[in-house]
Structure 1
Amino acid sequence: MWPLLNFAAFIAVSGFAVYWFAAVVYSRITYIRLGKPHELKQDLDVRIREFLIQVFGQKKLLKDKKSGMMHMVMFYGFIILQFGAVELIVKGFIKGFELPLGAAHPYFSLTQEVTTFLVLLAVAYAFYRRYVEKLSRLKRGLKSGVVILFLAVLMSSILLSLAFERLWLGADSSLYAPFSSLLAALFTGLSESQAGAAFYIFWWVHLLTLLAFLVYVPQSKHAHLLFAPVNIALRETKPYGKLSSLHLEDETQESFGAGKVEDFRRNQLIDLYACVECGRCTQMCPASNTGKTLSPMDLIVKLRDHLTEKGAVTSRTPWMPSLSFASGAAAGTRQAADQRLEEKRLIGDVITEEELWACTTCRNCEDQCPVSNEHVEKIIDMRRYLVLTQGDMPHEAARYFQHIERQSNPWGISRKDRIKWREGREDLVIPTVEETDDFEYLFFVGSMGSFDIRSQNIARSFAKILNTAGVKFAILGNEEKNSGDSARRMGNEMLFQQLCQENIAAFQAYGVKKIVTICPHTYNTFKNEYPEFGLEAEVFHHTELIWKLIQEGRIRPEKEMEEAVAYHDSCYLGRYNGIFDIPRHILQAVPGVKLLELERNREDAMCCGAGGGMMWLEESQGKRVNVERTEQALQARPTVIGSNCPYCLTMMSDGVKSKGLEIQVQTLDIAEIVERALL
């Protein structure tokens, strides 16, 4: 009679929990479907490879090796324990049940118990990291504590259930069941009936905890267990440096960008429920690290909670339980809560403008995210709404756009002066496309190289290298326009597309097949974004071409430099385009140069603070990002801070000056270092 009642109770409780779980998961899918539909590229091989690397290989989680190993134990532990869970549940209905594994069953039992113990150790370490070590990136609220408690009870109840089952069955201790045997030895005085009762107590503790966890998961940050694999499988596979374009010619659109959470694409909304709230993004964010309002993790969480609130109202169905911990519908009457939600603005009430304009678009957050969330494009989509739909932006941004529109450079200097940078160096041969049609490379100088006095030296040094190597090149001269990178990342998609089309028209008019530039931002937008608008040309960063010339023996940096160079990885050459080694190879090829690595380097390198249009905006909060990065570089005790980007060079130069060290520490572009080493 007891097994029958036990089975009936199991069916009732399990059915209720599974229904609740399914209802909440369905509600989240319904909320995600509020977003705009989006067609993904049919690149199945790329998606499968990425899925295997990130989900089963846990590649990004292992960036933090301690937390990564802890998570891998839990991840694979729970996969292994699913088989043991089936056996344990059936034991509640059939006394002494074992899976029909024959002679292999003892090894199965050993695997289950060892795995359970390892997961329990991982849970203990998770508690230590969060509450004893108090890792700064981890929150220590009730929700986090509940999950750790859930996991601890789940694992403990497995071993205790198995221990009391041994006593109930009168089984001897076994090396194939080491932990349950050890626990059973502590309770050898129990009678058979007492041991059986204790087994069922812990069996039900395990089952109820498991079912409670099942209900809790989809409405907590642990929804990532469900949505993270989907997010990784459905993420954009376009280059990191390519933003999605707006169809500005669509006259039916009343607004552009994201002014409501429903304006995001559905694959962007999956991000929100995939978030683990691990804080890795915020820990690496240059804005957050220097006292700005922006926290990438908090931005995702606030968007998630807002979507859940809005979805609970717009997608409400009678049969769906209202279990959302984020919902505000419980406060006051439902009608009043719905009205408040209707009046809540995405930009202003949920996400502040200060957060949006603090982002440098460095992608450090995305590079660290273990579930492949994409923070940057969401921020830019909201900037697009502010700029294109509301006409609301910092006054420096408005001035920048005006100068670009009128003179095609950020300072509003006459466009006729764009070619003047080549004056003053009679040893250089720098023809324009009108002066020669015999060129292999178009040197796209960019606004910094053309107008900024300090960056002009980079352009001249690179031209000298090309002359020395006998490379045939030309420049557009006064026909050159701004690349549009900053305009796009500041939200002015219309200005970007205009500049893009004008530049491509010039390239086509002069039959340009190869383009080289000294600016990683220009390099990225030409290489990854212009092809969508019709560019058909190879694009090179100047470090790529310099290294090619060194390898071919066309230039030989032979003069001793005797400098200790702290190399700073720029975001748009490094994280965005994966070029880390080439600049280092160049520096190592210069006699006398000692290459120094910063503590944060390569993929983990911190932004200089200029990306995403921040080069042209004032920092009104906290510490200046460029000063923080300069201090990190100075810790290496260099004589030179090396860079590959005019923006970075400007920011690092200003940082060195702020420390009063401009005499002791030079800031040089790699092209300038190589030119000095040429005989």
Structure 2
Amino acid sequence: MAWIEPTLVALVLLGSVVAFGYVLWTQRMGHVWPKRGEVQITNPGGFFPGVWEVLTQNVVLRNRPWVGLFHLPLFFGLLFFLFKSVLYVLAGLGMEVEAPDWYNRLLDVVAIVVLVAIVFLAVRRYLVEREKMTHPLESGIILGLIGLLMITHLLEGAVVAESAAGIANWWGHYLVLAVFPAVIAQGKHLHLILAPVNVVLKHMTERPSDRPVFGNDLDMDLEDESKLEAEYERLGMPGGVADFGFGPLFDQTACIQCGRCNDACPAGPDLKPREHFVLALQNPALTGDELAKLIDADVSATCVQCRACEVACPTGCRP
């Protein structure tokens, strides 16, 4: 009967991969991926500054130092646990793999630091700045899952692996690993995977803004709706969101929805780059007319394309 547990592990793994792929394609990337051919690498050397920005998290730290400081353990903690997660799955499938002792001891320290960071971020989000918070349920679930990963890891050293408690703890850790990808795929925490890609692409590519800015990009009489339609056709966006390029559409998958772009915008608070130029592109079914209704023409005209929002963004978005 030794085959039962590896089979269950394999089935859970398969379910995790299928669920992640389904959610990612149907809800986030299905209308983005076909446009990947539009990406033009104009600065291959930008790969290294992009990777440096990802690893140092310097934009996160620059804009909100204390918040950024406590996000660092989450970022590096998940990176440190990535290798263990691979070993965890392989061991569950019946392969004889084991991490070195020094690595496990390092993970113990990392897990404790991550738990401290989770407590700080939870207090900040749910008590100190509760009114400013977006997606409280999703954020709570993600923090809870990360916390469970850390706790079940620490419990491995406190329980006998072959005991009932040890087996339950192993499966608890594994099931959290299995659920995590599909959960992040459908919300703003997809940035954990795609933001590093977007940051590197920001350094390696150049692209002009292809969003409509009434009174700026558009040459038209705002009172004449027929001219509005003509201008959409001139800009190559008669179908609305579906006709935007890869860059703006990929931005909405990498957006952490932190609002730094809104804070940096000199045309705020009426003009909101996050809502108007990034999150507005999440629904590929929006037509040009529906997209135009999401932002008042007079408000959009206040955008001077200074790119302050781009400079402030920690995930490489270029609204």
Normalised by the length of structure 1, the TM-score is 0.40
Q: Which residue of 2 is the match for residue 256 of structure 1?
A: 235
How far the C-alpha of 1:235 sits from its partner, in A, is 2.7
Are the counterparts in 1 of residues 50 and 203 from structure 2 also a CA contact under 8 Å?
A: no
Alignment CA distance shift 1:268-1:165 (3 Å): same
State yes or no: 1:203 paired with 2:170: yes
- Inter-partner Cα distance in structure 2 for 1:343 and 1:62: 37
- Structure 1, residues 433-466: CA drift from partner, whole Å, max 9, x if none? xxxxxxxxxxxxxxxxxxxxxxxxxxxxxxxxxx
Aligned equivalents of 2:171, 2:39: Cα separation in 1? 46
**Cross-structure match for 1:6:** 5
Please tell me whether residue 273 in structure 1 is matched to residue 253 in structure 2. Answer: yes
1:454-494 deviations in Å (ceiling 9; x for gaps): xxxxxxxxxxxxxxxxxxxxxxxxxxxxxxxxxxxxxxxxx
Report the AA paired with residue 310 of structure 2. E
Which residue does 2:275 correspond to in 1?
Answer: 298
Structure 2 CA distance for partners of 1:9 and 1:287, relative to 1, 3 Å:
same
Give me the identity figure in percent: 26
Q: Is the 8 A contact 2:241 2:288 kept in 1?
A: no
User: Which of residues 305, 308, 311 is equivalent to 1:361?
Assistant: 305
Give the structure with the larger helix fraction: 2
Contact 2:241 2:287 in 1 (8 A): no
Q: Residue 163 of structure 1: SS of its match in structure 2? A: coil
Question: Is the 8 Å Cα contact of residues 40 and 205 (structure 2) preserved in structure 1?
Answer: no
Deviation at 1:4, TM superposition (A): 2.4
Query: How far off is 1:33 after superposition?
Result: 4.3
Q: CA deviation at 1:36?
A: 9.1
2:145 to 132, 147, 150: 150
Aligned-CA RMSD value: 3.2
CA pair 368-138 structure 1, distance change in 2 beyond 3 A: farther
Call closer, same or farther: CA 1:164–1:354 in 2, change over 3 Å. Answer: farther
CA distance in 1, matches of 2:77, 2:50: 19
Shift of 1:276: 0.4
- 1:38 match: 38
1:121 matched to which residue of 2? 116
**Which structure's relative contact order is higher, taking Cα pairs within 8 Å and 6+ residues apart?**
2
Instruction: Name the CA distance, whole Å, in 1 between partners of 2:313 and 2:288.
Output: 32
Which residue of structure 2 aligns with residue 161 of structure 1? Answer: 156
Determine the C-alpha separation between the residues in 2 that align with 1:42 and 1:121.
42
Match of 1:346 among 280, 291, 297: 291
Q: How many residues align?
A: 298
Q: Contact 2:115–2:150 at 8 Å: present in 1 too?
A: yes
| 2:84 corresponds to | 84
Paired amino acid for 1:70: F
Compare the two structures and name the one with the higher strand fraction.
1
Paired residue type of 2:59: K
Matches of 2:247 and 2:153 in 1, distance apart?
38
Unaligned runs of 5+ in 2: 212-216, 220-231
Does residue 195 of structure 2 align to residue 216 of structure 1?
A: no
**Gapped runs of 5+ residues in structure 1?**
169-195, 311-340, 376-679
Q: How does 1:424-463 map to 2 (within 5 A)?
A: none
Alpha-carbon spacing, 1:355–1:148, altered in 2? closer, same or farther (3 Å): farther
Counterpart amino acid of residue 6 in structure 1: E
Contact 2:59 2:314 (C-alpha < 8 Å) held by counterparts: yes
Distance in 1 of aligned mates of 2:142 and 2:209: 37
d(CA) in 1 for partners of 2:234, 2:37:
17
How big is each residue's C-alpha offset from its partner over 1:272-300, in whole Å with a ceiling of 9 and x where there is no partner? 101001121222333334xx2x2222225
1:175-574 pair list within 5 angstroms? 196-235=163-202, 254-256=233-235, 258=237, 260-289=240-269, 292=270, 294-300=271-277, 302-307=279-284, 310=285, 345-348=290-293, 350-375=294-319
Kindly name which structure, 1 or 2, has the bigger radius of gyration based on alpha carbons. Answer: 1
Cα separation, 2, equivalents of 1:37 and 1:93: 38
1:53 CA drift (Å): 2.3
Aligned counterpart in structure 2 of residue 134 of structure 1, from 116, 129, 132? 129
User: Contact conserved, 1:137 with 1:283, CA < 8 A, in 2?
Assistant: no
How far did 1:18 drift? 0.4
One-letter amino acid matched to 2:180:
F
What do the CA deviations read for 1:296-346 (whole angstroms, capped 9, x no partner)? 222255324323xx2xxxxxxxxxxxxxxxxxxxxxxxxxxxxxx669611
**C-alpha separation between the residues in 2 aligned to 1:146 and 1:134?**
18
Secondary structure, in 3 states, of the residue corresponding to 2:114? helix
Partner of 2:223: none
Change (3 A) 1:355 1:83: same
Is the 1:130–1:140 Cα contact (8 Å) retained in structure 2? no
- CA, structure 1 residues 163+301, in 2 after alignment: closer, same or farther (shift >3 Å)? farther
